[in-house]
A and B are shown apart, each in its own frame.
Chain A
């Protein structure tokens, strides 16, 4: 049972838009920044979004992040087959004194 809650899977057609939600509480998302990671199976995770909505250099602007209250959202527009991967949200939890992740969302581009 993950501290942060994500849908197990989402799917959409190439060229479409998808959003992935991440729900937490006041001890984590509510008072800290959220980051998002992309993991293609068999490879290491890769940073996609940090500090809620900032993109590292090299990450296309098709990827976006937002936060409201105790929830965060990752948005991906112009879906490509190469976007098929597992996506994780993460943040620090002040009560647990630990980093926490969502359970991960598998994106399928139909």
Chain B
């Protein structure tokens, strides 16, 4: 399973670090990504990290502000969020990625999410 933590209320321009702890599978064998959902809106992909941390991708909306990382020894993935804006307010989910290539990309295990609210 995946369990997110670290969400909360933060002022515009502030920072927050989300964590996602994995259990029940060999974490280092899987790529992971973050997906968010603003209130009343659809799913928005945020960021991806490869098993070995050698490749990361970001949505244009967060590029330059968010950084994804992982610690395979601690079975965890992180999302460092800086320069937060009101439109970053959302539930943030981490999800395990399957598929031998990006063309076969799908997310088979999801956490329950952690809520980030950016407001003054």
Interface residues of chain A, those whose CB is within 8 Å of chain B, are 2, 31-33, 35, 37, 39, 43-47, 50-51, 56, 86, 88, 90-92, 94, 96-104
CA distance A101 to B107 in the complex (A): 12
Q: In angstroms, how far is the closest chain A Cβ from the Cβ of B19?
A: 16
The contact of B104 among A32, A94, A101, by CB within 8 Å, is A32
Interface residues of chain B, those whose CB is within 8 Å of chain A, are 33, 35, 42-45, 48, 57-60, 93, 95, 98-99, 102-108, 110-113
Q: In angstroms, how far is the closest chain A Cβ from the Cβ of B106?
A: 4
Residue of B nearest to A44 (CB): B110
Which B residues are CB-close (under 8 A) to A103?
Answer: 42
Which B residues are CB-close (under 8 A) to A33?
Answer: 99, 103-106
Please, could you name 8 A-B residue pairs with CB atoms under 8 Å apart, sorted by A? A32-B105, A33-B105, A37-B43, A45-B43, A46-B110, A47-B107, A50-B106, A51-B106
Q: Is the CB of A92 within 8 A of B113?
A: no
- Number of cross-chain contacts by CB at 8 Å: 77
Q: In angstroms, how far is the closest chain B Cβ from the Cβ of A99?
A: 4
Which A residues are CB-close (under 8 A) to B98?
Answer: 50
Residue of A nearest to B2 (CB): A44
Known pairs A35-B107, A47-B110, A51-B99; list 19 more (Cβ under 8 Å).
A2-B42, A32-B105, A43-B112, A44-B112, A44-B113, A45-B43, A45-B93, A45-B110, A46-B110, A51-B106, A90-B43, A90-B45, A92-B103, A98-B58, A99-B33, A99-B105, A101-B42, A101-B43, A104-B43
Q: In angstroms, how far is the closest chain B Cβ from the Cβ of A88?
A: 5
Q: In angstroms, how far is the closest chain A Cβ from the Cβ of B24?
A: 15
